[in-house]
Amino acid sequence: MVFRQRCQACHTEEAGKPARVGPNLAGVVGRKAAATDFNYSAALKGSGLTWNRENLDRYLAAPSKVIPGTRMVIALTDPAQRKALIDYLAKKR
């Protein structure tokens, strides 16, 4: 499971759970970037992005290229892993 292997150290994905180093990702698919109660970077707050599947795929592949100044440093270079992760997160509401 991609989330457990690559994301869980910094993020939670269950609604109502507290954030960790990174924000809780429950409901992230379809949400505006930096829309939840978390200390987001100014870069992410100012991005104007909505986390649709396409934007999530681009961001997960190269976070600092999509949003220079983001605090997220982990990239998922494998397209199959990104798709699996986005599919998983889309079910988390």
- Specify the pLDDT at position 6: 96
Query: How many domains is the chain built from?
Result: 1
Query: CB under 8 Å to 43, separation ≥6 — which residues?
Result: 67, 68, 69, 70
pTM: 0.94
Domain around 20: 2-90
Confidence category of residue 37, pLDDT binned at 50, 70, 90: very high
79 close to 54: Cβ distance less than 8 angstroms: no
Tens digits of residue pLDDT in 41-76: 999 999 999 999 999 999 999 999 999 999 999 999
Give DSSP secondary structure letters for 52-88. Answer: -HHHHHHHHH-HHHHSTT-S-------HHHHHHHHHH
Q: Closest by alpha carbon to 52, among 13, 86, 2? A: 86
Q: What is the mean pLDDT of the chain?
A: 97
CATH number of the domain at 7, please: 1.10.760.10
